[in-house]
Amino acid sequence: MKIDAHQHFWNLDKVEYPWLVPSYGSIYRTIEADELEPQIKAAGIDKTVIVQAMNSYADTDYMLETGAKFDWVGGVVGWVPLDNPDEAAKKLEEYTKNPLFKGVRHLIHEEKDPDWVVQDKVIEGLKVLAAFGMTFDVVAVFPNHLKHIPLIAEKVPKLRMVIDHLAKPQIKNRLMEPWASELKTAASYPQVYAKLSGLNTAADWDHWSAADLIPYTDHAFDVFGADRLMFGSDWPVANLAGSYSKVWGEANKMLEGRSQVEIDAVLGGTAVSFYKL
């Protein structure tokens, strides 16, 4: 099975997305599953994971409704208020009855407080999430959030986490440190995984190729291993620096020279295991 472990949809008539403003250009509009479907079929993708685009129940409900309509949706990463553990528990009781609901994400990079995710009340919310056996997508944007992952791993050891977009390394400036060292520390915890996703928009937005990304993905292989790495397109955000077909094609070029076992893990097996697809 080939899995795209990170993609989004949004409907501007059904859900409010304050972060999505006109300056986003081509993606400042309603973008739904019927637009993605032919592109994943052309790429040979079997299943996708829809990831939340807003901290709201409306967004989560919209994703679950979409998932029920398309058999290629393998799972949904939704939202509950992690800073309100009691309410989070009540909503998780509801959401986890739906087999498509696989985990939770919060737009921590949109919070004014860069340390939002390590507040005591959020840590308690993450303990609730772990108790339900749900995963946590960490939308880390270097340098603000990657450094928090070891602390979360220590305080909530049963929580399985995945770092979205390798925490957005400074590819455009071709800088490795201190990102590389922080990623290595995060990877030392076996319950922490990472997504090879969103890297094209961290590179030069006009011209990028697999060669620009390989130093960063090679480091991720070194510290995580293929069995804790998964491919994600980050579509339609990916359209800001290319297209679905380019992201998919360059991802396959990044994997050239890897063993078939490693390739199968990154392009599907890891996501199946992590999200229990």
Domains (range + CATH), the chain: 3-275 (3.20.20.140)
What pLDDT sits at residue 105? Answer: 98
Those residues whose C-beta lies under 8 Å from the C-beta of residue 222, and which sit 6 or more positions away, are: none
User: Which pLDDT value is given to residue 267?
Assistant: 98
Residue 76, helix vs strand vs coil: strand
H or E segment at 78? strand 73-78
pLDDT at 207: 86
Whether the bond into 150 is cis, omega within 30 of 0 = no
- Asked whether the predicted pLDDT for residue 123 surpasses 90, the reply is yes
- How far is 180 from 50, CA to CA, in rounded Å? 28
What pLDDT, in 10s, does the model give residues 63-80? 999 999 999 999 999 999
What average pLDDT does this structure show over 100-115?
97
Q: In this structure, what token pair is assigned to residue 69?
A: 């309509």
pLDDT at 206 > cutoff 90: no
**What does the pLDDT look like over 228-262, one tens digit per residue?**
999 999 999 999 999 999 999 999 999 999 999 99
The tens digit of pLDDT for each residue in 2-51 reads: 999 999 999 999 999 999 999 999 999 999 999 999 999 999 999 999 99
Question: Given the DSSP bridges, would you call strands 3-7 and 47-51 parallel, antiparallel or unpaired?
Answer: parallel
Query: Pairing between strand 73-78 and 135-138?
Result: unpaired
Q: Full-prediction pTM beyond 0.75? A: yes
Q: Give the number of other Cβ atoms within 10 Å of residue 256's Cβ.
A: 9
Residue 7: which H helix or E strand, with range?
A: strand 3-7
